[in-house]
Amino acid sequence: MSRRISGFTPSGSLHLGNYVGAIRPIIAQQSTTDTVVFVSDLHALTVEHDPAQVRRRTLEFATLLLAAGADPDSCLFLVQSQVPEHAELHYLLECATGYGEAQRMIQFKEKAGRQEHVRMSLLTYPILMAADILLYDTDEVPVGEDQRQHVELARDVATRFNSRYGPTFTVPRAVNPPVAARIMDLTSPGDKMSKSTSGDAGALRLLDSPYVLRRKVMRAVTDDRAEVRYDPALQPGVANLLTVLAACTEGDPAQLAPAFARYGELKTAVADAVIATLGPVRERYLELAAAPDHVRKVLLRGSMQAREQAGRKVAQVKEALGLLAA
């Protein structure tokens, strides 16, 4: 059976882009495919962070993933830091990755360019992500477009390791959803919708109330062409609204366009579709959030299960690299 994995870093708040780009795709096949869903809390330490907030968000993300349908009886459901083999394999893979390879990562260049004090872990973070993926012999990684380059790195590292030290890793590939791989910010449609708290009006958060979701959609930036067409280059705001509608209704953005004569009609349809998609997730979250100890227990159980598999993989890698057996 093929295996799929997806992770979510508890920085900022989960939004519609995360949902349609990765959460929904990974959960959709959990009963027919070996699936690993995890909160990548170690990744949240790569930039300046507030410890209490990371802990709170780790629980919030896990609760949201459960609310979105992750079923711990059908998939491996865990927190990265509770499975120390992630960090252990990270180091071992650093020994099989070039400095130049890590430095080329677009996300590193973008994030490092915005900061004065760049943490070493920001540079090596894609190698930790490769460890996350390779630890479980993953075939497919459902992610948004922004993570594709990191999955390519995992592919390169796996291929090189296998040819240098003998067959050890499954070589993974990224899978992007057909229309939702890059949902853009509603107020600045040239940028991707992002988890960071700045620019809150541009992101449709999974925990926003229906009222807030509608208000954000109705205020989304369009243009003065007064024509609903799917043209991401000329009409990025309108194209993004059509993409959001298509992602929520599993349609096609270009085919949906002719149904709308005015921007107001399009926005109303988008707001309805977003509320129908995210409303039930938020309601379920509010129920589950009342029992945080239950979520903590579910995570611990999943992490313990994961350690059995992960431990075997790390032992195999150590052996291949020439380390003494424990």
Options 109, 111, 216, 318, the catalytic residue:
111
Write down the least CB distance from residue 190 to ligand TYM, Å. 12
Q: Does 244 bind ligand TYM (CB under 6 A)?
A: no
Min dist. Cβ of residue 226 to ligand TYM (A): 27
Q: What is the nearest approach in angstroms of ligand TYM to the Cβ of residue 141? A: 5
- Nearer to ligand TYM by C-beta: 180 or 274? 180
Quote the least distance from Cβ 144 to ligand TYM, whole Å: 2
216 counts as catalytic: no
Q: Does the active-site annotation cover 109? A: no
| Residue type present at position 109 | K
Residue 132 is a binding residue for ligand TYM (CB under 6 A): yes
Q: Is 62 in the site for ligand TYM (CB under 6 A)?
A: no
CB 162 within 8 A of CB 141: no
The single residue of 192, 216, 267, 313 carrying the catalytic annotation is: 192
Based on the shown chain and the rule CB under 6 A, indicate whether residue 147 belongs to the binding site for ligand TYM: yes
Select from 94, 101, 146, 200 the one that contacts ligand TYM (CB under 6 A): 146
Of 3, 4, 155, 182, the one binding ligand TYM (CB under 6 A) is 182
Backbone angles phi, psi at 173, to 5 degrees: -135, 150
27: tokens are 């959960």
Judged by CB under 6 A, which of 181, 275, 298, 317 binds ligand TYM? 181
As a whole number of angstroms, the distance between CA 242 and CA 291 comes to 37
Stretch that binds ligand TYM, among 128-136, 251-259, 284-292, 295-303 (CB under 6 A): 128-136
Edge-first strand order for the sheet with 3-8 is: 76-79, 34-39, 3-8, 140-142, 173-175
Beta strands in the chain (DSSP E): 3-8, 34-39, 76-79, 140-142, 173-175
Give the three-state DSSP class for 311.
Answer: helix
| Rounded CA separation 255/25 (Å) | 22
Question: Distances in Å between the alpha carbon of 95 and those of 37, 80, 263, 311?
Answer: 26, 21, 53, 19
- Out of 47, 76, 193, 246, the only residue in the binding site for ligand TYM (CB under 6 A) is 193
Query: Catalytic site residue 267?
Result: no
Give the long-range contacts of residues 229-236, CB within 8 A, separation 24 or more.
Answer: 229/257, 230/254, 230/256, 230/257, 236/184, 236/189, 236/190
Out of 109, 195, 267, 297, the active site residue is 195
Distances (CA, A) of 278 to 151, 161, 299: 28, 41, 23
Task: State the virtual CA torsion across 65, 70, 73, 75 in degrees, nearest 10.
Answer: -100
Site stretch for ligand TYM (CB under 6 A), options 5-13, 65-73, 237-245, 255-263:
5-13
Q: Does 253 bind ligand TYM (CB under 6 A)?
A: no
183, 239, 256, 271: residue in contact with ligand TYM (rule CB under 6 A): 183
Q: Is 25 in the site for ligand TYM (CB under 6 A)?
A: no
- Enzyme catalytic residues: 111, 192, 195
Give contact residues for ligand TYM (rule: CB under 6 A): 5-9, 17-18, 21-22, 40, 43, 129, 132-133, 141, 143-144, 146-147, 180-183, 192-193
